A and B are shown apart, each in its own frame.
Chain A
Amino acid sequence: MKVKWWSAALAAAMVTGLFGGTAAVQAEEQVTLKVFSNLPDRKNGQGLVEQMIIDEYMAENPNVTIEVEALDEEAYKTKFKAYAMEGMPDVVNIWGQPSFLDEVLEAGVLAELNEADYADYKFIEGSLEGFKKDGKLYGLPRNTDVAVFYYNQKMFEDNGWSVPSTYDEMLELGKTITEAGITPVAMDGGDGWPMAVYLSDVLYKIAGADYQGTVADAVANSDFTADTMKQATQLLRDAADAGLFQIGYDSQDYGTAMNLFTNGQAAMFYMGSWEASMALNEDIPEEIRTNIRVFTMPVVEGGAASATDIAAWNGGGYAISANSEVKEEAIKFLNYMYQPDKLSKYGWENGVGMSAQDQTEYMTGEETELMKQIVNIVTEATSVSGTPINDCGPSAFKTCIESEIQSVSNGTIDIDTFLADIGAACK
């Protein structure tokens, strides 16, 4: 009899467990989110921050599996287009710039976001603008990017060099550094866009507040022959002619240029503030990484902008696929990622650079000198340039300027031809 009771109890427990289990499964339906990222390095910098948030989200939501596909920028943009034709992953990286976003929004592949949801997310004033079309929000910005010259402070001090305050001084400094057998500035000229950012930086120093108007008019009228454009291009050419960049800069990629700097073969490296995590990267020799400092483009004599008018913009960010089958979960994840204590805080703690959200409350005073310097540059800025010139027009223009800028800097084509070619690409 006792055995029968035990059998009945076990059977009841089994049945209850079975139904209970089914109910739990029903309550927490398994969801797979596909994230398409342009951050292939998942152990350093921004990629690490993204992965940390993904891991946390999965830990907090056991029913959600997040699959990441990460490619570097060029490959990413190509595959993004292929995905646009055959079906987009749920969460994607985008750029809030006309050269990328115009065609993407026209194709209707991104979901509209509710701007009111982000009222408390502490986005910096104006940072959402690049991600809007006709007043509707389609993405959220990740960073505030600043164009800077990273320099090796110890190398500067050991050789008695000082940070240049004018463009001419920088060219002179370049010659002095070359005479010492060191490359002055490591430039990723092979990719085209860093030089286009450099051109924008110089143009901003010349045109000042007129920068955006000059570029917008040039793109709209397919005419880049404004004097300020000519002068900026000439200054880029002067820098290349003076040997400011490494030999072969126009064929060397991001990694090669960065390695020149992080190995101590170059005194400076022109890049965006997102590389501030170099100061925490243990793959870089300690003597170099602890001595990395920054300065912004020196003023151009006769230019309208001062030293504190800087080239800065909100570039990359995230969006949700319009056709995502798990759109609700994707938006939930996006909102989780942008909680001020996630992307912004982790980015800050990992020295990734300035976020598009207010980060002041996360400053501990123990940040690297490099981070503090970048914060100072941004907080002391009297104005910012906005989108770099190569991202202000259609993608045909972007492709053209990023290719032709190599030719005009190395003297293969003259400045007038360059300006005419990029103008024609806007038509």
Chain B
Amino acid sequence: MKKMYSNKLVITSLVLPGVLLFVFAILAPICLSVYYSLTDYSGMGSWNMIGLDNYKALMRDEAFFTALRNSLFLAIGFICIQHPLAIIVAAVLDKLSGRGESFFRCVYFIPNVISVAVIAYLWKFIYNPNFGLLNNILKVFGYKGTVNWLSAENAIWSVLVVLIWHGFGWGMLIYYSGIKNIDPTLYEAAAIDGANQKQTFLRITLPLMKPVIQVNVTMAVISALKQMETVYLLTNGGPGNATQFTATYLYQQAFKAFRYGYGNAISVVFIIICLLATVFLNKIFEEREPERRGR
């Protein structure tokens, strides 16, 4: 067996599929993107090399920075609203036992199993100011005005609510699994020492959940940056650019405005931002590790 694993042919045959997949599915498209980002390609016909003109235009493009700001806003929304809520709900579910636990676990996960297109159209109707559910509920409570939930001012918050609601189940389920993996004897020891529920949550549950939080937060940031389909179907980036996100803007420029080269420049910058975000998050979690051990 050992001899087989030292055979270079065997090693190559085992490594090759992964390498080929990486080269053709990830590396080559990125290289092509970089190449096309240096052209004025419209997506059809021939193209000319224009150097860094697309990147220069991008740095002056207000809509791009609006899209970037919205993506960042969404990432912060996920981290500050969705994930704390998901951890708390997961902890509460852990304390519930029996049928209640599995019932609520299923209920919270339902939005994740519904198609994105259905969700987008469902919320379009809920938010409709003329006949939507939300305004009708407000009327029941005596509110006489009409709230335009998808106006230029409100749309980004409305989109945030939908995305938090949609992604909540996944986050909650991962936290729930993390909590379930914590050794119950730690809780028993804390109870003997007289710790209350808040102390148990803050001193035992949360610290031991750190690897899970790290994974979930990284995934949340990446999903915020690449958010596309729900926003595209719900608001199409509008009104104006009020709910424009980096991925929707990339799509708009490459496939609607026939600016394929420019769209590729956006994608290259987008990849760099995603890489930086991942490195940044890893750094944050790495730096705190020795501090905790040192105590």
Residues of A within 8 A of B (CB): 74, 77-78, 81, 84-85, 103-104, 106-109, 183, 189-190, 192, 246-248, 250-252, 256, 260, 265, 394-396, 398-400, 403-404, 406-407, 410, 412-413
Contact = CB atoms under 8 A, between A and B. Distances in A.
Interface string B248-261: 00001101111100
Given A248-B150, A265-B130, A412-B152, A109 B239 contact: no
A196 to B, nearest CB: 14
B240 A406 contact: yes
B44 A410 contact: no
A78 B255 contact: yes
B146 A247 contact: yes
Given A103-B44, A247-B130, 12 more contacts: A74-B256, A81-B258, A84-B43, A107-B44, A108-B45, A248-B128, A256-B124, A398-B257, A399-B253, A403-B238, A406-B239, A407-B239
B252 A247 contact: no
A85 B43 CA distance: 7
B241 A403 contact: yes
Contact of B242 (A85, A190, A398, A412): A412
Contacts of A81: 43-44, 255, 258
Given A247-B148, A407-B152, A103 B239 contact: no
Contacts of B252: 399, 403
Given A407-B240, A410-B239, A248 B151 contact: yes
A85 B152 contact: no
A385 B246 CA distance: 37
B216 interface: no
Given A84-B43, A85-B43, A106-B44, A251 B239 contact: yes
B130 A406 contact: no
Q: Is the contact region of chain B dominated by helix, strand, or loop, or is it mixed?
A: loop
A246 B132 CA distance: 13
Contact of B238 (A77, A84, A406): A406
A103 B45 contact: yes
B130 A260 contact: yes
B43 A413 contact: no
Interface of B: 42-45, 63, 124, 128-131, 146, 148-152, 155, 235-242, 252-253, 255-259
Nearest to A78: B255
Contacts of B235: 190, 251
B155 A251 contact: yes
Contact of B237 (A85, A247, A252, A403): A403
A252 B127 CA distance: 10
A248 B258 contact: no
Given A107-B45, A109-B44, A403-B240, A247 B256 contact: no
B152 A410 contact: yes
A104 B258 CA distance: 10
A183 B45 CA distance: 46
Contact of A395 (B63, B130, B241, B256): B256
Enumerate the 7 nearest inter-chain pairs by beta-carbon distance, A residue then B residue, closest first.
A407-B240, A107-B44, A107-B45, A251-B150, A250-B239, A399-B257, A406-B239
B129 A248 contact: yes
A325 B252 CA distance: 32
A396 B44 contact: no
B256 A399 contact: yes
Contacts of B255: 78, 81
Given A256-B128, A260-B130, A410-B152, A250 B256 contact: no
Nearest to B44: A107
B45 A106 contact: yes
A183 B242 CA distance: 25
B45 A252 contact: no
Contacts of A252: 128
Contacts of B241: 403, 407
A84 B238 CA distance: 28
B151 to A, nearest CB: 7
A107 to B, nearest CB: 3
Contacts of A103: 42-45, 258
A248 B238 CA distance: 11
B240 A412 contact: yes
Contact of B44 (A104, A250, A265, A403): A104
Q: Which of A248, A403, A404 is the most central at the interface, judged by chain B CB atoms within 10 Å of its CB?
A: A248
Contacts of A265: 130-131
Contacts of A412: 152, 239-240, 242
Contacts of B130: 183, 246-248, 260, 265
A253 B129 CA distance: 13
A425 B254 CA distance: 14
A250 B152 contact: yes
Contacts of A248: 128-130, 148-151
Contacts of B146: 247
8 contacts: A103-B43, A107-B42, A109-B44, A248-B130, A251-B238, A396-B257, A403-B241, A407-B239
B244 to A, nearest CB: 8
A412 B152 CA distance: 7
Contacts of A406: 152, 238-240
B258 A410 contact: no
Nearest to B146: A247
Contacts of A183: 130
A394 B258 contact: yes
B255 to A, nearest CB: 5
A399 B237 CA distance: 12
Nearest to A104: B44
A247 B124 CA distance: 14
A410 B148 CA distance: 12
Nearest to A265: B130
Nearest to A259: B131
A77 to B, nearest CB: 7
Contacts of B256: 74, 77-78, 395, 399
A72 B128 CA distance: 22
Contacts of B253: 396, 399
A246 B131 CA distance: 11
B257 A413 contact: no
Nearest to B155: A251
A329 B99 CA distance: 65
Given A183-B130, A190-B236, A403-B241, A251 B43 contact: no
Q: Which of A78, A106, A247 is the most central at the interface, judged by chain B CB atoms within 10 Å of its CB?
A: A247
A273 to B, nearest CB: 25
Contacts of B131: 265
